[in-house]
Structure 1
Amino acid sequence: MAKLILLKNRELTLVNRSRKLLYDLSYISDGKEKPLIIFLHGFKGFKDWGNFDLMMNYFTQKNYAFIKMNFSHNGTTLDSPLEFNDLSGFGRNNFIIELEDIQAMIDHVFKGEIISENEWDQRKLILIGHSRGGAIAIIKGAEDVRVRAVVSLAGVADLKKFLNDRDIDLWKKGETVFIDNSRTGQKMPLYPQFLESYFENKSRLDVISAASKLKHLLIIHGSEDSTVPIDHAFKLKKQ
């Protein structure tokens, strides 16, 4: 008999950095193979933000398996997944760490450590990313042949969006840049390593180039988006 499985705030250990992240898993257990979605949140985001639970519920009812995960350095903690209580961790975050996080999740999924192998179709792994998570999903989708499709929800087409001239000058001086969080009122730090990591991996972080390698890319973007302008969607479409 089919049964709804909903697992919240499960821990995944990332051995290479001795760090953990939280994820949610939802699917209807019926012993049948079904597509699997892994959802990635954006900058200053987390897996439980906004309508992400509604999205998970929708796809579960459409008989997808659905995982939504926190990035390991998103600023939340295992004990407080809804609050940014680890600002030091946030400051140490960068694009490569986020790519490593999703790589770890994919690896564990294919090892059968997250969901039973008879409950999902290993030929149908889909990444959905929101905002900056959209860029990470596109890059990882181009890197890993196990990913069969990518969906960009208001995705960022150029990660230089997170590198303005003033911040670059501060990072080059070895200073910390502080990002305002309008929702919480916090000033969230980003340490100089953020810039260093970007330039060390600039070619890998070319979102447009990565998008051109994808066979299946769905771009969804609101025309009135004030955070990530619609131009990003057109840049991805024209690649």
Structure 2
Amino acid sequence: MILTEQYTIPGAKGRPITADLTYDDISPKAPLVIFAHGIRGFKDWGAHHLVARRFAENGFRFLKFNFSHNGTTPDHLTEFADLIAFGDNTFSIELDDLKNVIDFACSGSAIPAADGVCLIGHSMGGGISIVKTAEDSRIKKLVTMAAISSFYNLWPKQAEEQWRLQGVMYMKNARTGQDMPYCVTMLEDLEKNPARLDIPRKAAEITQPWLIIHGDKDTSVPLAHGRELQQAQPRAEFVVINNADHVFNATHPYLANTLTLQLEQCANTAIAFFAGKTS
């Protein structure tokens, strides 16, 4: 039977990380996969629950979580109800959060301890995952989905001067219509940590097996980002999903009971990679 359990993990600046673990009760100590969502994303977006189930059905535990400053709250898991926290988010905060989640997975304090983890990162979460994989040997394999190749690509360069002057920049969330605040501390984080937050540089340092997955119809993070990542780390495998957009043709809310063809291909490719069934 496939089960899902809910957890709260301490996050950055005292904020909680909400998480859930999907697994087959026949194999409670199965290999563990951690999923890191992207900017303006959350663990319960779209078809993430179906992806989690697909992994559980194929012999993995699947732990997905909300970064502590992603704007959701424990009472509003699918809404950006805390825009103050969202605005205060930085890349270093997300790296701290991911470390806490890996600590949780490996400690055995609440779930059977994992002897290392596999990591999946989507979009900005892919960039975070690249940096963390270069830093943490507990990560045994990495899959990035539609990952960015530079944190600077998350906003227009010409907006930075005004951003510094005003201290905050707003970008419209096309799905919700909300004006999402980004405090200048996000930009300052990049400038204070240029080596650590240089994604191609960190990509070049990765020694673990790594699979780069990207859709050829991605207009949010174009396919060129995936090619830049593979250029930085030529040992990485690279798979292009045909006719796939940035979210592999899923939507939020996602009302179907089956994955899109593109997301199914993405999930199955990642499962085979983690299981050692690809080169």
Query: TM-score with structure 2 length normalisation?
Result: 0.79
Task: Give the Cα separation in 2 of the matches to 1:61 and 1:53.
Answer: 12
| Structure 1 residue 166 displacement after superposition | 3.1
Task: Give the Cα separation in 2 of the matches to 1:95 and 1:171.
Answer: 17
Aligned to 1:5: 3
Worse-matched range after superposition: 190-199 or 86-95: 190-199
Q: Is the CA contact (8 Å cut-off) linking 1:211 and 1:217 kept in structure 2?
A: no
1:84 equivalent in alignment to 2:84: no
Q: Which of 222, 232, 252 is 1:229 aligned to?
A: 222
Task: Give the Cα separation in 2 of the matches to 1:170 and 1:114.
Answer: 46
| Structure 1 residue 55 displacement after superposition | 0.7
| Structure 1 residue 31 displacement after superposition | 5.5
Deviations 1:36-67 (A, max 9, x none): 10001101000011221111000000010110
> How do 1:129-144 residues align onto structure 2 when only pairs under 5 Å count?
129-144=121-136
Task: Give the Cα separation in 1 of the matches to 2:132 and 2:112.
Answer: 23
3-state SS of 1:22 partner: strand
> How do 1:152-231 residues align onto structure 2 when only pairs under 5 Å count?
152-214=144-206, 215-231=208-224
Q: Which of 17, 25, 34 is 2:13 aligned to?
A: 17
Task: Give the Cα separation in 1 of the matches to 2:20 and 2:41.
Answer: 15
Where do 5+ consecutive residues of structure 1 fail to align? none
1:43 equivalent in alignment to 2:39: yes
Task: Give the Cα separation in 2 of the matches to 1:65 and 1:113.
Answer: 16
Task: Give the Cα separation in 2 of the matches to 1:91 and 1:32.
Answer: 37
Aligned to 2:57: 61
Task: Give the Cα separation in 2 of the matches to 1:32 and 1:67.
Answer: 13
Worse-matched range after superposition: 211-220 or 83-92: 211-220
Where do 5+ consecutive residues of structure 2 fail to align? 233-279
Q: Which of 128, 139, 164 is 2:120 aligned to?
A: 128
Q: Which amino acid in 1 is paired with 2:58?
A: K
3-state SS of 1:55 partner: helix
Task: Give the Cα separation in 1 of the matches to 2:29 and 2:42.
Answer: 28
Q: Which amino acid in 1 is paired with 2:216?
A: S
| Structure 1 residue 205 displacement after superposition | 0.7
Task: Give the Cα separation in 1 of the matches to 2:28 and 2:164.
Answer: 53
Q: Is the CA contact (8 Å cut-off) linking 2:28 and 2:112 kept in structure 1?
A: no
Worse-matched range after superposition: 76-85 or 170-179: 170-179
Identity fraction in percent: 37
Task: Give the Cα separation in 2 of the matches to 1:35 and 1:212.
Answer: 26
Q: Which amino acid in 2 is paired with 1:216?
A: P
Worse-matched range after superposition: 30-39 or 53-62: 30-39
| Structure 1 residue 152 displacement after superposition | 0.6
Task: Give the Cα separation in 1 of the matches to 2:155 and 2:174.
Answer: 19
